[in-house]
């Protein structure tokens, strides 16, 4: 039978031997002991010193006018032309949305997102859509243009983000167009260099969905994820 672990009292009692042990180490070699303590102190301070040096580097970089609190923006169209004050971006949704070949549905949200479902039939179609929508007046109140495939419900935010985050390669599919960040989550074609077959979405059978709904209260999940 294994021995029982020592109690807390026994562990604390063992600390009584620590001062005599340290004194013995010091008497053995005061110089070496002091050197080891100094090295340990330096090692403990290295992370703090690294962060401080990083701060100094950031502080030494060139600052844009708005970072200095001058009230003048550095980007075209950012100033209101009345006294040089900066115009803050206020997200808003537009109902007058443009049309484009293959668009099956679209909507804007009040927090600055533009969801588009695109039935893509030719190479470069999503990029053309993004460029046209980026300069349209309806883009004034948004910062993100999310282009999804034809089976995405733009009124279902979970479906939109599931499509975008599964379909994009950030290096290939995310582009800055003026003030807009365009996310191309549409289907990729062989003519665009995507040689593998584009996988279809998995659609659950209705009987499976009904079974999950009936047992939802057992999973401990919020109703918002239902």
pLDDT tens string, the chain, 226 residues long: the values are: 556 777 777 777 777 888 888 888 888 888 888 888 888 888 888 888 888 888 888 777 766 665 565 545 545 554 554 544 456 788 899 999 999 999 999 999 999 999 999 999 999 999 999 999 999 999 999 999 999 999 999 999 999 999 999 999 999 999 999 999 999 999 999 999 888 888 888 888 889 889 988 998 888 888 877 7
| CA dist., res. 93 & res. 153, Å (int) | 18
Q: Give me the residue label for tokens 């983000």.
A: 161
User: What's the pTM?
Assistant: 0.58
Which top CATH class is 103-218? alpha beta
The Cβ-side half-sphere exposure at 203, using a 13 Å CA radius, reads 5
Domains of the chain, residue spans: 103-218
Chain-centre distance for alpha carbon 146: 15
pLDDT of residue 83: 46
* The total number of residues written for the chain in this structure: 226
How far does the chain reach from its first CA to its final CA, in angstroms?
Answer: 52
Q: Give me the residue label for tokens 């883009």.
A: 139
Reduced to 3 states, what is the DSSP secondary structure of residue 181?
strand
Phi-psi region of 124 (alpha: psi -120 to 50; beta: other; left: phi over 0): left
């Amino acid at each position: 039978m294994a021995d029982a672990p020592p109690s807390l009292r026994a562990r604390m009692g063992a600390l009584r031997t620590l001062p005599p042990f340290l004194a013995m180490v010091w008497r053995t070699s005061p110089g070496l002991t002091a050197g080891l303590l100094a090295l340990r102190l330096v090692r403990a301070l290295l992370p703090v010193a690294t962060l401080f040096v990083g701060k100094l580097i950031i502080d030494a970089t060139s600052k844009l006018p708005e970072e200095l609190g001058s009230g003048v923006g550095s980007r075209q169209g950012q100033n209101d032309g009345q006294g040089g004050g900066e115009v803050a971006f206020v997200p808003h949704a537009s109902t007058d949305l443009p049309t484009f070949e293959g668009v099956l549905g679209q909507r804007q949200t009040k927090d600055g997102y533009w969801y588009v479902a695109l039935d893509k039939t030719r190479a470069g179609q999503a990029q053309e859509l993004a460029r046209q929508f980026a300069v349209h007046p309806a883009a004034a109140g948004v910062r993100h243009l999310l282009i999804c495939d034809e089976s995405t419900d733009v009124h279902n935010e979970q479906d939109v983000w599931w499509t975008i985050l599964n379909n994009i390669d950030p290096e290939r599919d995310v582009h800055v167009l003026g003030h807009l960040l365009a996310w191309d989550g549409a289907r990729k074609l062989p003519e665009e260099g995507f040689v593998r077959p584009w996988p279809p979405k998995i659609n659950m059978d209705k009987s499976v969905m009904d079974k999950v709904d009936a047992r939802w209260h057992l999973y401990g999940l919020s109703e918002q994820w239902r």
